Structure 1
Amino acid sequence: MNVEGCVVPEQLKPTVVLTGTAEEGRAGPPIGMMDIGVSEKAYLCRIALPGLRNNENNFTCDIQRDGRVNIHGVVTGGALKGSSTAYEMKVQQLCPPGQFTISFNLPGPVDPRLASLNFRSDGILEIVIFKPRSTV
């Protein structure tokens, strides 16, 4: 995105000091960014779900035997938990509130009964899905 030539009002310019990897200018991961790892017996998927909270049931994960994974959910926003005050976002760099769907195929078939989901506090959903046992 080209932001050159954009005029940002003074009240929207935050005073922020960045160091380390934050200083490199990369924004946080957009919703749906992922990594997929493969081992002899299983797949490991890490999917970025910023804006979701660990303690709310705001997403579902459906895993098919052919390796198709579908994640459906809702990003909530605009109001803080326990508050009736809604906020209009003036700077929007995170995913806006609303429904989302993330669908992807793993490199091969899986056994959906042998899947483990872990939604980390940093907004990353980790899924370990075992491959079907070979019948020899």
Structure 2
Amino acid sequence: MDACDSANQPKLKPSVILSGTAKEGSAGPPIGLVDIGISENAYLFRVALPGIRRNESNLKCDIQHNGTVHIKGVVTVDAGMLKDSSSVFQMRVQQLCPPGPFTISFKLPGPVDPRLFCPNFRNDGVLEVAVMKYRPPSAPANGAPPL
């Protein structure tokens, strides 16, 4: 798709459903902002997950054939304390999402093959996933059933 084609495409406004602590976070960088890209053969989506720790979040991404995406995880930051290697800080201002489980659900513009996806949880707190569009199997030209 080139720049001219993308200018003629309607903007997608995905319906995103947040629950748990993702819904409670009202200030700071929000969890669950979604961007969706479309190519001829695949969809690419990016989900903002600021403050989510890759190794501690139990992050799971489930993609269904109809294009529904469910992302689940846990915000693990201790609500009242912040620790580094030498000090413990009592939090007076907390702008990030509160600790606890969260879910993010949205639907891609069309059906997909949930077996063919490539997730990447980037260092900047963005989950980026490419998933192939569903292509029905084509019948052989001679009408014989596929082997």
Give the C-alpha shift of residue 81 in structure 1.
7.0
Give the C-alpha shift of residue 36 in structure 1.
0.6
1:49-92: per-residue Cα shift (whole Å, max 9, x none)? 1111233352111110010100111011124477894x442112
Please say if 1:36 is aligned against 2:36.
yes
> 1: CA distance between counterparts of 2:92 and 2:114?
42
Partner in structure 2 of residue 98 of structure 1: 100
Unaligned runs of 5+ residues in structure 1 are: 1-26
Q: Which amino acid aligns with 2:92?
A: K
Partner in structure 2 of residue 117 of structure 1: 119
User: CA distance change for structure 1 residues 126 and 88 in 2, over 3 Å: closer, same or farther?
Assistant: same
Q: Which amino acid aligns with 1:114?
A: L
The structure carrying a bigger strand percent of its residues is 2
Contact 2:35-2:46 at 8 Å conserved across structures: yes
For 2:129, which of 120, 127, 130 is the aligned residue?
A: 127
Give the C-alpha shift of residue 104 in structure 1.
0.5
The ranges of structure 1 where at least 4 consecutive aligned residues each deviate by more than 4 angstroms after the TM superposition are 81-85
Contact 2:57-2:74 at 8 Å conserved across structures: no
> 2: CA distance between counterparts of 1:107 and 1:130?
12
User: CA distance change for structure 1 residues 81 and 65 in 2, over 3 Å: closer, same or farther?
Assistant: farther
> 2: CA distance between counterparts of 1:83 and 1:101?
34
CA RMSD of aligned residues (A): 2.2
Deviates more, 1:55-64 or 1:37-46: 55-64
Identity %: 62
**SS of residue paired to 2:46:** strand
Contact 1:58-1:75 at 8 Å conserved across structures: no
TM-score, with length taken from structure 2: 0.66
Give the C-alpha shift of residue 97 in structure 1.
1.2
Contact 1:62-1:71 at 8 Å conserved across structures: yes
TM-score, with length taken from structure 1: 0.70
Count of residue pairs the alignment pairs up: 109
Partner in structure 1 of residue 64 of structure 2: 64
> 1: CA distance between counterparts of 2:132 and 2:75?
28
